[in-house]
Structure 1
């Protein structure tokens, strides 16, 4: 019984020792820095040495150039060309004639007894 109590005492003692957090270099550095931090007695201590002025950025361009204007006009011409192409495409009978109604070619006209349901347009042709 006595031996069991001694073993239990050692296990509990070593267990609590293993649970304690170990101090690292970071913690040590942080405690040293806290003495340098400003407080109400010396508010500007250490703050002057860490301040840096932000660098000013220089702007590369001072306005539009002839190249950028030409690029703009080139893009506008390309857009106008695409619109004209789309307009010519829509003028084809496949899009402008209502007989086509979703078909590439107009559907064949069948007799009343031979009409079939069309999967493309949902009408019997």
Structure 2
């Protein structure tokens, strides 16, 4: 799965860099086309493949962001497994049945501010 993620993020990055470079070259050279990607006239290849590459890269970036922000089980991390934890009632619970790790959810307490009245 990591090879697919590296490939799709690399494609997205290369397309973005290529688009930015082509914009700047056309902008600073008076709208003259300096380079063509496909010189033999089959534009449907770019019309089909580029959106697929863009969507594939964006979906992969979203999946990577979700995985890095997920809460992982510390017991399973010791055994080199990345197992996300889920909320069950007031606990974070490991999704592996053999593990049985539970951790209470920390609730943010409301801050109570005291208002002092000025004495006149």
TM-score, normalising length: structure 2: 0.27
Of structures 1 and 2, the one with the larger relative CO (CA 8 A, separation 6+) is 2
Q: Which has the higher helix share?
A: 1
TM-score, normalising length: structure 1: 0.27
Q: Which has the higher strand share?
A: 2
